[in-house]
Amino acid sequence: MSAPQPSLSPEAAPPAAPGAARVSISEIFLTFLVIGATSFGGGVVAYLRNALVISKGWLDEEQFMTALEISQALPGLNATNMSVIVGDRLRGPVGAIAGFLGMTLPGGLLVFALGVFYASNHGNPAMHSVLAGIGAASVGLLAAVTLQIGHKQLEHFTELALVVITVVMVSFLHISLLAVLLTVLPLALFIYRPRSDDRPKIPEEEAP
């Protein structure tokens, strides 16, 4: 598994992965630096797809979706998980570090500068008004993003019930996130467990 090749699914071995030429570390860093510096407003997936699939051709659509599925199933942010996973696939762990640093440096430095400014302007009423406005606007943004991602979950009873259980436990019963995950995730896994009748044939001898 250590061969740094630009393939997201070595097992499936797509004949010629796009961008099969060896990508340089600096190109990985610069590509994610541009994404990290321009992805304003939270829709980082669109920026990633644009750069990695369309502009660079490092991944095809299916490989991109696989990487995104992994990013979403694991803890951590999509933006940084994608930079690590794609960087690793292109050039191994060094590529992952290059992708991660590119992704986080621009926003991280800006937030740090803003944080220093915020700390030294404590009590400035104009600054607090601006931040209060941004905070309120963010609530609208979070509500819209949650509904856009979740509208499918809200149409089916079982999924809606899991959404409601999670919200009530976290927001109203103030149960710790770890306890919520340790109870609701096994319940959900049980509900969506693979049934024997829809089990696809998986070769037993999958070992390489």
Partner 1 sequence: MSQSNSDLSLLGVFSLLSLLAIGGGTAVLPEMKQLTVEAHHWITDGQFRDIYALGQVAPGPNMLMVIVIGYHVAGTPGALIAFAGFFLPASTLALGASRLWNHFEGSPWRLALQNALAPIVVGLMAAGMIAIARTAITGTETTLLAIAVFALLYFGPKINPALLILAGGAVGYLTLS
| Sites for partner 1 among residues 122-141 (CB under 8 A) | 125-126, 128-141
d(CA 68, CA 46): 11
The crossing angle, in degrees rounded to 10, of helices 25-38 and 78-120 is 60
If one asks whether residue 173 binds partner 1 (CB under 8 A), the answer comes out as no
Pick out residues in 42-81 that bind partner 1 (CB under 8 A): 42-44, 67, 69-81
Interface characters, 8-47, with partner 1 (x: CB under 8 A): xxxxx----------------------xxxxxxxxxx---
Among 15, 21, 123, 148, binds partner 1 (CB under 8 A): 148
Place of tokens 């740094």: 4
Quote the CA–CA distance of 54 and 129 in Å, as a whole number: 40
Q: What is the CA radius of gyration of the chain?
A: 21
- Provide the 3-class DSSP secondary structure of residue 35: helix
Minimum CB–partner distance for residue 64 and partner 1 (Å) = 13
Q: Rank residues 205 and 206 by Cβ distance to partner 1 and give the closer one.
A: 206
Q: Select from 26, 112, 155, 204 the one that contacts partner 1 (CB under 8 A).
A: 112
Instruction: Say whether residue 199 binds partner 1 (CB under 8 A).
Output: yes
Q: Residues 6 or more apart from 103 whose CB is under 8 A from it?
A: 32, 33, 35, 36, 79, 80, 83
